[in-house]
Structure 1
Amino acid sequence: MELKLARAELGTKPKTISLDKIESAVEKEGQKIFYFDKENSHKQLIELVEFFEEKGLSVYHRVVKYGLDEKDYMYEVHIL
């Protein structure tokens, strides 16, 4: 599965990250916070949460709004 990371600047395209890279970062650091772009579907993020919960990890998922417009948001996923 490929997920899009949150954009650093509004006019740029989001970078992608694979599930394997996310898993290796979590294994290396023990916990990790990822910010994902709004172009990811809710279903993809739920699959990500379920993947790590099946491995016995705790996962917190929420929507972060950074502006007044309804379109100004990203997803935060904290994996412990």
Structure 2
Amino acid sequence: MELKLARVEIDQKPKKIDLKKIEESAEKEGSVIFYFDRENSHKDLLALQDHIEASGKSFYMREVKYGLADSEYMYEVHILA
């Protein structure tokens, strides 16, 4: 599974991260926060949640609005050991 990280600049394309790198970061740090781009499907993020929770970690996700337009948002994901 590959997910797109939040864009740093509006006109840039989002960078991708795979499930293995997410798991490695969570193991190394203990708790980690990721910001995912709006181009990710909600279904993929829920699949990530199921995978993380199955491994015994806590998962918290919310939508963060950074502008007034409906398309100006990103997903904030907390993974806690």
For Structure 1 versus Structure 2, the TM-score category normalised by the shorter chain is over 0.9
Tell me by how many angstroms 1:36 deviates. 0.2
In structure 2, what residue type is equivalent to 1:57?
K
How far apart are the structure 1 equivalents of 2:50 and 2:63? 17
Tell me by how many angstroms 1:58 deviates. 0.5
Which residue of structure 2 lines up, in the alignment, with residue 10 of structure 1?
10
Matched residue pairs, number? 80
How far apart are the structure 2 equivalents of 1:61 and 1:50? 12
In structure 1, what residue type is equivalent to 2:42?
H
Tell me by how many angstroms 1:55 deviates. 0.7
User: 5+ unaligned residues in a row in structure 2: which ranges?
Assistant: none
1:70 paired to 2:70 = yes
SS in 2 for 1:22: helix
| Structure 2 length-normalised TM | 0.98
How far apart are the structure 2 equivalents of 1:38 and 1:74? 5
Identity of aligned residues (%): 62
How far apart are the structure 1 equivalents of 2:10 and 2:57? 32
| Structure 1 length-normalised TM | 0.99
Which residue of structure 1 lines up, in the alignment, with residue 45 of structure 2?
45
User: 5+ unaligned residues in a row in structure 1: which ranges?
Assistant: none
